[in-house]
Amino acid sequence: MKIAVAGTGYVGLITGVCLAEMGYDVVCSDIREEKVLLLQSGCAPIFEPGLDSMLKRNLDAGRLLFTTDPELAYKNAELIFIAVGTPENPDGTANLDHVYEAAYTIGLCIDKDSIICTKSTVPVGTNERIKEIIRSVKPAHLEIQTVSTPEFLREGNAMYDFFYGDRIIIGTESEEAAKIVEQVFLPLKIPLIKTDTRSAEMIKYASNAFLATKISFINEIAAICDKVGANIEEVAFGIGKDRRIGPQFLQAGIGYGGSCFPKDTKALVQIAGNVEHQFELLEAVIKINIRQQLLAVQKAKELFGSLEGLRVAVLGLSFKPDTDDIREAASITILKALLAEGASVIAYDPVAISNARRVFGDEIEFTADIQTAISGAELSLIATEWDHIKYLPLEKYVQLMANPVIIDGRNCYSLKDVSKYPITYISIGRSALHPEQAQQHTRPGPNMKGRYDETITSILSD
């Protein structure tokens, strides 16, 4: 069976490479020539553990092709996945231009009956529009069916999730199409859920909205723990043991980022609004996350007073470990706030520096060496829980910082371990350590409260 994939972004590339690994003949198409050339040479344009070797293996085996030629991609294909981006419009809705363009091109190029599966995250009803577009331009004698097959790949674990995911959703009104798609994924032995198209489209948004809700919920509990002297990790462990709640996605921190949660939560609020339903719960989740992304800066201001001229090492730039993706990362919000406060910033990340440099240019220093970052810093602010950061021995902070202060936005260290060192340590939803030392850091600035509020206001209006 020949399978085509439209779009070689995160979802399209992983889908194409993994389907080839399953033994299918796969052609991935993209309109960006330089990206296709890179992929043809066996290099992945994104950092994803395991991707490079699987890409090369399948190129060498001749099962995987990359092309800018849509005819080469879609002619003779029985199954075509649409996996192009659905970026956010200024009003929070999903921009479907690329999806509809891909559908149009597919309709023009196909030369046999085919099934079009949409992996892009699209609002309810989009698959019907995709079907209309393809039908309006395809040769009259051909039959097409559409299927909603939302993706649930986590960046950094995408290959694992493809082969060992929790479920595969197959949303279509065509039993025949559902059976064919089922056969394609059957070897993975992942539970397959067949449903109607609209429910499948909603499952994707509802999944991400629920996970984002869990994160904002635990961050709210962490904020209260901070005030009442409870420990968020003990609380998360205690509630997570209840199987109705579950232990996952209860890691308190400086909020969620990435290409999915921020975009999909806003889009779902819009989808609800379009049918005159105000999704108040999700609106609160989004608001809490914005506050959470600035929490580390707020804590720094409470500790130091003014951040003007303060040497700050921001540790971690990617929105989570094992990816170079900085889209909607808390680190970006933090860096903007620190710069607005006049701090002198050096940022460390093992893989995301080139992406961050595109945003900040020379405004901040970058280093791929964590020890260089913290040397001489007055504050180390942990934004991403990379292993390189989690396993940096605490002595290093003591050796390399004159008066070590860590604000840990990801609760990387245990309080017991930190308490053995002369380190001022502020984390999320857990007691501050050595707060008496913290007093020495206070450098009151003029009208601090007012200035902090201004920073928040300007960042939120960005």
CB of 251 to ligand UDX, least distance (A): 3
- Tell me which residue of 26, 99, 102, 103 sits closest to 66, measured CA to CA: 26
Sheet holding 25-29, edge to edge: 64-67, 25-29, 2-6, 79-82, 114-118, 144-148, 168-171, 192-195
Residue type at position 287: K
- Cβ proximity to ligand UDX, 106 vs 288, nearer residue: 288
CB of 190 to ligand UDX, least distance (A): 14
Q: What CA dihedral angle connects 46, 52, 57 and 62, to 10 degrees?
A: 20
Site for ligand UDX contains 326 (CB under 6 A): no
Respond yes or no: is residue 260 known to be catalytic: yes
- Cβ proximity to ligand UDX, 329 vs 400, nearer residue: 329
Residue type at position 135: R
- Cβ proximity to ligand UDX, 203 vs 456, nearer residue: 203
CB of 83 to ligand UDX, least distance (A): 12
- Cβ proximity to ligand UDX, 254 vs 307, nearer residue: 254
Helix, strand, or coil (residue 285): helix
- Cβ proximity to ligand UDX, 72 vs 190, nearer residue: 190
d(CA 257, CA 381): 17
Q: Token match 């779009």: residue?
A: 7
Binding-residue total with ligand UDX (CB under 6 A): 19
Q: Token match 């994939």: residue?
A: 5
Element (H, E) at 449: helix 448-460
d(CA 189, CA 130): 29
Site for ligand UDX contains 70 (CB under 6 A): no
Strand ranges for 325-378 from DSSP E: 344-348, 365-367
Binding residue for ligand UDX, selected from 200, 250, 307, 345, defined by CB under 6 A:
250
- Tell me which residue of 291, 360, 285 sits closest to 330, measured CA to CA: 291
Enumerate residues 260-279 that contact ligand UDX by CB under 6 A.
Answer: 260-261
Enumerate residues 188-227 that contact ligand UDX by CB under 6 A.
Answer: 208, 211, 215
CB of 331 to ligand UDX, least distance (A): 10
Enumerate residues 132-161 that contact ligand UDX by CB under 6 A.
Answer: 151-155
- Catalytic sites, residue numbers: 260
Where along the sequence are the contacts to ligand UDX (CB under 6 A)? 151-155, 208, 211, 215, 249-251, 253, 256-258, 260-261, 319-320
